[in-house]
Amino acid sequence: MTASEKNLRTCKQGHQYYKSSDCPTCPTCEQERKPAHGFLSVLSAPARRALENNRVTTLQQLSNFTEKEILQFHGMGPSSLPKLRKALEEEGLSFKP
């Protein structure tokens, strides 16, 4: 896809970017708010937003869900599950059975 098929947008912070979809997320703002450490830092932006939008910001909160429930969050894909499992295991936690 070329830049001419994408729409130039400006976010609330003044960043300009091109998007071809209806997604309102500014890539610059998204990169700036990515955590530097912790389990959310290893996830893709859509997966991280999926957890945040469902108020899951700690591993303890994550452990209250089954894998199937997590996969139903909009933006969460199966490639994120191994990262989440590993983060939970490192803290002695696991997904709800």
CB distance 64 to 96 below 8 Å: yes
**Beta-bridge partner residues of 19:** 7
pTM, 2 dp: 0.72
| Domains of the chain and any CATH numbers | 8-34 (no CATH), 38-97 (1.10.150.20)
pLDDT tens, residue order, the chain (97 aa)? 455 588 888 888 888 888 887 777 777 777 767 777 799 999 998 999 999 999 999 999 999 999 999 999 999 999 999 999 999 999 999 999 9
Separation of alpha carbons 35 and 27, rounded Å:
14
Of 66, 71, 62, 48, whose CA–CA distance to 91 is shortest?
Answer: 62
Separation of alpha carbons 78 and 11, rounded Å:
30
What are the tokens at 72? 């139903």
